Amino acid sequence: MKTIINELLHHRNRSRMLSFALIIGSYLIIEFLMHSIRISRLFTSMLVPCCCYIILALSLNLVVGFSGELSLGHAGFMAVGAFTAIIVSGLSAKMIPDPVIRLFISVLSGSILSGLTGLLISVPVLKLSGDYLAIVTLAFGQIIKSLITNIYLGFDSNGLQLSFVTNELNLEQGKMLLSGPMGATDTAKISNFSSGALLIVITLFVIYSLIDSKYGRAIMAARDDRIAAESIGIDILRSKTLAFVASSILAGAAGALYALNYSTLQPAKFDFNTSILALVYVVFGGLGNINGTIIATTVLYVLPELLRSLQDYRMLIYAIVLIIVMQLGSSVRLKRSMEKLKNRFSKKGVIR
Amino acid sequence: MKKVLCVLLSILCLLTLAGCGKSGNGGNDSDGTVTVKLGGSGPLSGDAKVYGEAVRNAAQIAVDEINASDSKIKFDFRMEDDEADGEKAFTAYSTLYDWGMQVSLLTVTSGAGAAVAASYDEDKIFAITPSGSSTALVYTDSKNFRGNFQMCFTDPNQGVASADYLASYFGGYKVAVIYKSDDVYSAGVYEKFAAEAEAKGVSVVYVGAFTDDTSTDFSTQLTAAKDCNANLIYLPIYYQPASLILKQAFDMAYTPIFFGIDGMDGILTLEGFDTSLAEGVYLLTPFAADAEDDLTKNFVETYRSKFGDTPNQFAADAYDCVYAIKQALENMNYDGNMSSEELYEAMIAQFTSMTFNGLTGSNMTWAENGEVSKAPKAVIIINGVYVSAE
Amino acid sequence: MTFLTYLISGLALGSVYAIIALGYTMVYGIAKMLNFAHGDIIMVGGYAAFYACTRYGLPAGLSILLSVLTCTILGVIIERLAYKPLRQASSLSVLITAIGVSYFLQNSAQLMFGSDTKIFPSILTEGSFRFFDGKLIISYLTIITILTCIIIMIGLTTFINKTKIGKAMRACAEDKGAAQLMGINIDTTISITFAIGSGLAAIAAILLCSTYPSLSPTLGSMPGIKAFTAAVFGGIGSIPGALLGGVLLGIIENLTKAYISTQLSDAIVFAVLIIVLLIKPTGLLGKKENVKV
């Protein structure tokens, strides 16, 4: 018993426990509040997208933080997941009336397809390194967006119809699922906060299991010293592929959940800016830092909404906050004084 | 760092939660006037800011005028930023809902509007969009959003009108089309135009598209159009890229007839634009800033003195929206004692039965599905002013 | 003949990309950072020239000079205030700061200059050469753009290889620590790099805005991304690479639009980029760096 408690209180596990406690705790509190007092509409409307961005940022952290590869096209995976989920949900609306099961199937298929896309892309991407890798992920992100913008998909009594680049569909009493730049319209909104919270918990579980596994240690070894890792016989490519695919699956799930939270969605949503946004969340939270990512995503997601009263100066202030936090976070002087402060309060007094 | 973030987070949470329970209805004031909370969202930052700003400014002018007059109806106007994005439009809508919005200008852009159209319907808040021209804002395949109305032409409506006009006035011409394929508005108009043009026998010889990422260089599309001997170029796009197309065509000594739609309005007032390039350009527009009637003159003058720019059709539509709402409220003798649902129903009843005269047209009526009856009119630019082309 | 027209307009577009890419590549080579705010400096350059010329009625030459000066000073200020404190920080923190600076410039421009498009005056030249009875038209501007690009490229190469500052820059790019030991002032060298890169951005701005005369606060973001792509395409850090990458990107973009699809041109351009990088993983002219143990 004592060993179990000790194990739980061990530094590494403590931070893991904290992640789960953070999510489940906030979920319970918010659910309780929603059922007891009247919460502002703004607050409830931000819950699901916030969950989606947390999952997206966590998945990106797997690539950027743990694998050490800069990805600038993560929104592409989100897009694949999102539009797959919309199609699956739209097609199965009559067959599966139950929204919970339909949501589950849609998210699952969205993440599977996104994972397959990730697997396909990982082949060329992981052959490169550094900024060349970054630009190729950017390129794939743009390609995916551009392809989805040109898909016209609808279904009627004759079955599924697809046309590319120009809309040549002639539907008889049918429904358009994707209509080019208009994207999806009239989607049934079946996402909810509970599924979002559950998906974060699953994401955390996946990420922690991956990090603790043989592959996870291999990935981090390769990140810290590629040559040393290779020299002791670690198959870096395989481990990195695993991380990349896992990340794309999770990003796809985030996209699926996101898509089913709105009645319309346009492919243009998943542009370069969204990829950058996710990257900002990850860097703010700290590379490889799971709890930091969750908190940073929430703060940065909520911040622009709170700045609404500033009107036109809103995004300007946001930019300034971004720059200042980066300066503070990396400032050498600040770090030294923080350390001094820490040493003064801690009994041991670390000597360096 | 993490601790700082934690503290920040808890403060933020408290702040958002604190927004609850504040909403209330606008109501009777002591001096016998009634204040109505008028909301709306549009892009007030980012690429599309110019449209959101035009709507906000013009609506503000209308609201100020009404509030300064002896009208019984007064407005409390609030416009939120939605960055022309569905997700942000949703939070903007929620913010307005918490504030207690009673009547709304919906959204400025179609894409953002489509995301919140259903919410307006569910919450029973009457809304009329000045410029969201996609039909997705007022109805979908399966549902008609009863309380959502439009002040501008719908996209299909313009596509049909353009095809009609080309078929009847430019019969033998070879038509090239340049449109923006990743833009809801442009693609929406083009799609309908293409179908109608085929049916009416307009010979379309070349179709070139561009996207947000390739919206500066049009030499390829123009060269190809020239190669196909096109002598009329149809431009279902906004005036900013259109100005580049006109310039680049001029530079390559290519002089077809250019035919734009309502998005072309604004081209003459672009700062620094050589208006001689736009000579002979046809466009469909409901509004001309240099019209001679008093209403337009006053509006344009006020707008110029307050904001320094010349108002475009977005602004004019927004101005009309506010006055149309005022007219409907006056017609029903709104006294502030209605429940929100009663107000919603009464507004729908008014809008589907009343006629409205404004900047962008006279004798406007609205159909059950929310579309306005305005017919797009073609004008031609001669000596830097719009002249009716019919 | 039509093909030639496409090719030449692609060459002009590519030349502008190349000049922007030069700025990216120089900053990357020496400061090892992706300066995402570079595109927005172009935007500032455009507005500076616009206001100098239309509002204050300055002659073309003076407007251009003023624009170059504004950008140079802005570039140095940004470097000093935002990037210098992060010299020791991870490259990602610098990247995010650059993005923050980019947002800052865009939003300030919207507040200061208004969000509506302005049309850039033709301050350089108008008119064109006509060949084959007007079947082939090449505007003077196209020729000026291509020539400017070549001159800048030659000037920059000479500067980097022959002058003392240029040598200091190369030394910094190679090994900052060692360069410092040799008595090179790293901070000054990096500031000079930013000054040159931003000055080039101003020239690119004038050429870009003269060819495509619409000026808006988000003007720089797309050329910025394209130029970044071009820099990587040619091998980031390499000056001839930036030129080659930019020109090729412009030509490929135009030819795809002409012969394959206007809707999918972006997808195709990026697909070509991916294929090139798979064959030459460090870009067309990039150096392969062997990591030593």
Contacts of C14 (CB under 8 A, 6+ apart): C230, C246, C247, C248, C249, C250, C251
Among residues A259, A266, A251, which one has the least CA distance to residue A116? A251
CA B364 to CA B362: how far, in whole Å? 5
- In a domain, residue C224? The reply is yes
- pLDDT for A349 equals 41
- In a domain, residue C10? The reply is yes
Residue B72 has pLDDT above 70, yes or no: yes
Q: Which residue of C has its CA nearest to B223?
A: C2
- In a domain, residue C292? The reply is no
More confident residue, B230 or A336: B230
Q: What band does A351 get if pLDDT is binned at 50, 70 and 90?
A: very low
Averaged pLDDT of chain A: 86
* Contact assignment for C119 to B243 by CB distance below 8 Å: yes
Q: Which residue of C has its CA nearest to A123?
A: C278
C70/chain A closest Cα distance in angstroms: 21
* Contact assignment for B244 to C262 by CB distance below 8 Å: no
Q: What band does A303 get if pLDDT is binned at 50, 70 and 90?
A: confident
Domains B25-153+295-364 and B156-285 share a fold: yes
CA A158 to CA C182: how far, in whole Å? 77
- Residues B180-188 have a mean pLDDT of 86
Residue B22 has pLDDT above 50, yes or no: no
Q: Which residue of C has its CA nearest to B216?
A: C212
CA A193 to CA A204: how far, in whole Å? 17
Q: Which residues of C149-176 are buried (b: 16+ CB within 10 A; e: fewer)?
A: beebbeebeeebeeeeebebbebbbeeb
HSE-CB at B145 with a 13 A cutoff on CA atoms is: 30
Q: B99 CB near a chain A CB, below 8 Å?
A: no
Q: A268 CB near a chain B CB, below 8 Å?
A: yes
DSSP strand E in chain B: where?
A: 34-42, 73-81, 103-107, 126-129, 148-150, 174-180, 203-210, 232-235, 257-260, 282-284, 356-358, 361-364, 378-382, 385-388
- In a domain, residue C163? The reply is yes
* Contact assignment for C262 to B227 by CB distance below 8 Å: no
CA B210 to CA C230: how far, in whole Å? 20
Handedness of CA B112, A50, A61, A126 (dihedral sign): negative
C101 touches A323 (CB < 8 A): yes
Q: Which residue range(s) make up the domain with C128?
A: 2-279
CA A352 to CA C203: how far, in whole Å? 51
In DSSP notation, B183-208 reads -HHHHHHHHHHHHHHHHHT-EEEEEE
Tell me the CATH class for B25-153+295-364: alpha beta
Give the dihedral of Cα atoms A346, A347, A351, B1; nearest 10 deg.
-10
Q: What band does C139 get if pLDDT is binned at 50, 70 and 90?
A: confident
- Which of A51, A169, A260, A305 to mutate against chain B (most B CBs within 10 Å)? A305
Identity at B372, one-letter amino acid code: V
- pLDDT for C130 equals 78
Among residues B161, B140, B130, which one has the least CA distance to residue B377? B161
For B156-285, the fitting CATH number among 3.40.1410.10, 3.40.190.10, 3.90.600.10, 3.40.50.2300 is 3.40.50.2300
Q: Tell me, what's the ipTM?
A: 0.87
C211 touches B247 (CB < 8 A): no
- Residues B228-250 have a mean pLDDT of 91
> What CATH number is associated with residue C29?
1.10.3470
Residue A346 has pLDDT above 70, yes or no: no
- Which of B216, B245, B270 to mutate against chain C (most C CBs within 10 Å)? B216
Locate all alpha helices (DSSP H) within chain C, ordered by sequence: 2-31, 38-50, 60-78, 91-113, 140-162, 164-174, 176-181, 186-211, 221-234, 239-259, 265-279
B99 touches B124 (CB < 8 A): no
Residue C239 has pLDDT above 50, yes or no: yes
- In a domain, residue C287? The reply is no
- pLDDT for B9 equals 55
- In a domain, residue C290? The reply is no
- pLDDT for A205 equals 93
Name the residue with tokens 């002013």.
B385
Domain boundaries, chain B: 25-153+295-364, 156-285
- In a domain, residue C115? The reply is yes
Count of domains forming chain C: 1
B288 touches B386 (CB < 8 A): yes
- Residues A192-207 have a mean pLDDT of 94
Contacts of A142 (CB under 8 A, 6+ apart): A73, A76, A272, B213, C266, C267, C270
3 state DSSP class of C21: helix
- Work out whether strand B257-260 and strand B282-284 pair parallel, antiparallel, or are unpaired: parallel
- pLDDT for A3 equals 66
